[in-house]
Structure 1
């Protein structure tokens, strides 16, 4: 699966997913947030490094639509019916993986910001004794992509393989 992040003005971005399983997905706007690390890029890297199989991107790779809609209107209508009949059901494993992705992202980004000099201290909810060892690897991957993203001109893209 290829995930394409296209830089917009400020901290905005679009995200497109090209995958081999499931309906083709329409691109969508990302939630923005950080000038060096788009929110969805952080989650993709966290899930890759931590081996989170059923986070946002693992579910997309497996054919689920996640926060996206199919590009084809007929597929979109089918997906909407499926969501209504399925309700908010998610497997316990998927819920745990999504929670783990959020937790690790919530720790890794502040650790990265302190190391890069964007913040002076860690937030109160992150104590040095409670930083999981995998966070070091995640911070390294954030570093791999942060400067590339920041230097990217508006309208240009960064593609990451899942």
Structure 2
């Protein structure tokens, strides 16, 4: 699966997913907010580095639509009917993987920001002595992409493979 992050003006961005399994998905806007580490890129890197199989990207690769809608209007209508008639509840493992993705992202981003001088202190919920070892690996992955993302002009893209 290929995931394309396309920079917009300011801190906005679009994300497109091209996968081998499941219906084709329409691109969507990302939540923005960070000039170096877009939210969805953070989760991609966290999940890849931590080996999280049923987070956002593992579920998308397996055919789940996640926060995306099918590109085909007929498929979109079918998906909307399915969601209304029988909402899908994630498995306990998927819930745990999503929670782990959120937890690691919530630690790794502030650690990266402090290490690169974008913040002076870690937030109170991050105790320096209790940072999991995987966070250092995740922060190193952030280092690989943050500068490249920041340097992109509006309309420029990064493509990552899951």
Under TM normalisation by the shorter chain, which class is it?
A: over 0.9
Greater displacement, 96-105 / 83-92: 83-92
Partner of 2:126: 126
SS across alignment from 2:63: coil
Whole-angstrom distance in 2 between the partners of 1:156 and 1:118: 23
Q: Deviations over 1:87-142 (max 9, x none)?
A: 25110010000000000000000000000000111000000122111000000000
SS across alignment from 2:74: helix
TM-score (norm 2): 0.98
Tell me the CA shift for residue 83 of structure 1: 1.4
Partner of 1:97: 97
Q: Deviations over 1:55-113 (max 9, x none)?
A: 00000000000000000011101111221233251100100000000000000000000
TM-score (norm 1): 0.98
Partner of 2:68: 68
Whole-angstrom distance in 2 between the partners of 1:13 and 1:57: 17
Whole-angstrom distance in 1 between the partners of 2:22 and 2:86: 17
Whole-angstrom distance in 2 between the partners of 1:133 and 1:8: 33
Tell me the CA shift for residue 16 of structure 1: 0.2
Aligned length: 162
Whole-angstrom distance in 1 between the partners of 2:35 and 2:57: 22
Partner of 2:159: 159
Whole-angstrom distance in 2 between the partners of 1:151 and 1:52: 28
Over the aligned positions, Cα root-mean-square deviation in angstroms equals 0.7
Partner of 2:39: 39
Q: Which aligned runs of 4 or more in structure 1 are off by greater than 4 angstroms? A: none
